[in-house]
Amino acid sequence: MKQTISFFSLILILITNQCNYQKKSPIISNFEPYSSLGEEMIFPEQGNLIKKIENTKKRKNIVTYYYANELIRKKILWKGKEDYQTILRGDAIIIHEKTKIQAPEIILDPDNNGIINGKILISESEQGIYFYADGGEYNRSEEYIKIKNNPYMRIKNNQDTILIETREIVRNIAEKNIVFVDYVKMHGDDWVMFSDESIYYDDTKKFILKYHPVLLGKDLYLTAQTFVYKSDEQKIMIDQNPVILTNLNATKQNEDSNKKNETEIMHISSDLIEYNLKERSGIVKGNVLMQSKTKTIQGEEFLLKGKGIEKIVSEKNVTIVDKKENFFLKSNYMEYDLKNRKLYLKNQPHLITYDDITKENKTIKQELKAAIIERNFEKEITTAKGNIYFKRGNEIANSEYAIIDEKNETMKLIGNPILKRGDTEIHCKEINVYKDKIELQRELEAKIY
């Protein structure tokens, strides 16, 4: 039965998990008796290393070393007849190719099944992989190791260390993969991933996390049908119904404001997500839809930057609908700073403000076009630069620079501003538009057409 995780409970814990790393394990078996060993014979330390070159069921001429403070060959009753088991006791070591197994005691039966007792350390230094558990099994013929009792794995890439804990780990030496069975928990610096099963491949250094895995970080939640996690780059690649959730702050707390932080969750879905946990950046591509309680953002490709996604950037066509601010916009370039609540648009941005955007028969309050539009949501101020076109009611304004204060319902036009009202066109140095009046400053020129 697959593990399930409550979607809503995960939203409530979009924080970095500081975890105690409990360990878990898999199963091992099969080993051949040593015909040269006498029953109950204890070897001196200098003679306690044995080397064997033998075939397995999967490969030929596999080199294996065995070492312990005591090597014992003991006669036992096995399948109805007498046979021998081999005991490696005291700093027991088995080296199977490049895989090293260390434990206080390893018992090998006549069918080549190895029982590993005590604290286990399994290491593969070339891969930067280390396994830990409280016991397990070794199978030379099938070339696998299983550990079940509190197993976990540590993988080190450069200076980064990742810990993986689960209920059972299977190291397939010949196939060069590792299987994590049942409730897998992977820990990074300030993130944790959950899945019901995972497989790691040596050659690509990739983890495949199955059955709707989940990533939790500070203000970040990511899930999909399957994750591909490239451990050497700390990058997640998803192309099966990926979803990201991140926190938006509707208002910022500061000493000069009585406003309280309001949590708003943004839901991001697309055809493909690539997210780099180390660099805190990602790409979402194809049918991208970002939705929160108040905002809807759509486009074909976006860059995600910063912890918990602090900034969203798009260099392609993008549209935004904001129900709180009652505006619709489209642009060919967007930088949306979620942390500081600022919006930067260029390449033919077009902003339309409505009386109530949620209404079916909504009314346009004002319309703005410019080379560049910048919006500060905290201060409720919009600035525009270059080839400005502004329309409100029966008034049309053109200028090179504009400051629009939505909170106070004012607008300042600078740089050869022109105000048109019907057949009247007014030119001056500066135009200030208020809710109930218009102020024209210096060098006033009026034309009637």
Both 26 and 175 in a single domain? yes
- Angle ∠(26,28,32) on CA atoms, nearest 5: 175
- Please give the backbone phi and psi of residue 147, each rounded to the nearest 5 degrees, phi first: -130, 135
Amino acid in the structure at residue 124: E
d(CA 136, CA 105): 11
Both 50 and 105 in a single domain? yes
The per-residue pLDDT for 181 is 92
Both 353 and 381 in a single domain? yes
Both 342 and 209 in a single domain? no
b/e 112-145 (16+ beta carbons within 10 angstroms → b): bbbbbbeebebbbeebbbbbbbbbbbbbbbbbbb
Please report, for the domain that includes residue 167, its CATH number: 2.60.450
Q: Are 228 and 237 in contact (CB under 8 A)?
A: yes
Q: Are 376 and 355 in contact (CB under 8 A)?
A: no
d(CA 398, CA 382): 16
Enclosing domain of residue 342: 325-449
Q: Which of 124, 152, 182 is the last residue of a domain?
A: 182
Structure tokens at 333: 């370039």
The per-residue pLDDT for 9 is 41
Both 12 and 26 in a single domain? no
Residue 6 to residues 13, 196, 214, 291, Cα–Cα distance (Å) = 11, 14, 11, 20
Structure tokens at 70: 């005591």
SS3 content of the chain, % helix, strand, coil (to 5): 0, 60, 40
The per-residue pLDDT for 159 is 64
Both 394 and 449 in a single domain? yes
Report how far apart the first and last C-alpha atoms of the chain are (Å, whole number).
Answer: 79
The per-residue pLDDT for 148 is 87
Residue 147 to residues 63, 219, 312, 448, Cα–Cα distance (Å) = 22, 35, 43, 89
Is the entire prediction scored with pTM above 0.85? no
- Please give the backbone phi and psi of residue 108, each rounded to the nearest 5 degrees, phi first: -110, 120
Please report, for the domain that includes residue 291, its CATH number: 2.60.450.10
The per-residue pLDDT for 432 is 85
Both 275 and 404 in a single domain? no
Indicate the number of domains in the chain: 3
Both 312 and 343 in a single domain? no
Burial of 242 (0-12, 13-18, 19+ CB in 10 A): buried
pLDDT in tens, 48-95: 788 888 889 999 999 988 899 888 888 888 888 888 888 999 989 999
Q: Which of 316, 347, 373 is the last residue of a domain?
A: 316
Both 334 and 352 in a single domain? yes
Burial of 449 (0-12, 13-18, 19+ CB in 10 A): exposed
Look at the block and give the residue holding tokens 């609540």. Answer: 341
Both 215 and 277 in a single domain? yes
Both 149 and 197 in a single domain? no
The per-residue pLDDT for 442 is 62
pLDDT in tens, the chain (449 residues): 444 444 334 444 333 333 333 333 333 233 333 333 333 333 334 457 888 888 899 999 999 888 998 888 888 888 888 888 889 999 899 999 899 999 999 998 887 778 999 999 999 988 889 999 999 999 998 999 999 888 999 998 766 788 999 999 999 999 999 999 989 999 988 889 999 999 999 999 999 999 999 998 877 889 999 999 998 888 999 887 788 888 765 444 444 445 555 667 889 999 999 999 888 899 999 999 999 888 899 999 999 998 778 899 999 899 999 998 888 999 999 999 988 889 999 999 999 989 999 888 889 988 999 999 999 988 889 999 999 998 888 888 899 999 988 888 888 888 889 888 878 888 888 888 887 777 877 655 555 44
d(CA 448, CA 426): 9
Q: Which of 157, 182, 207 is the last residue of a domain?
A: 182
Both 57 and 123 in a single domain? yes
Structure tokens at 345: 């648009």
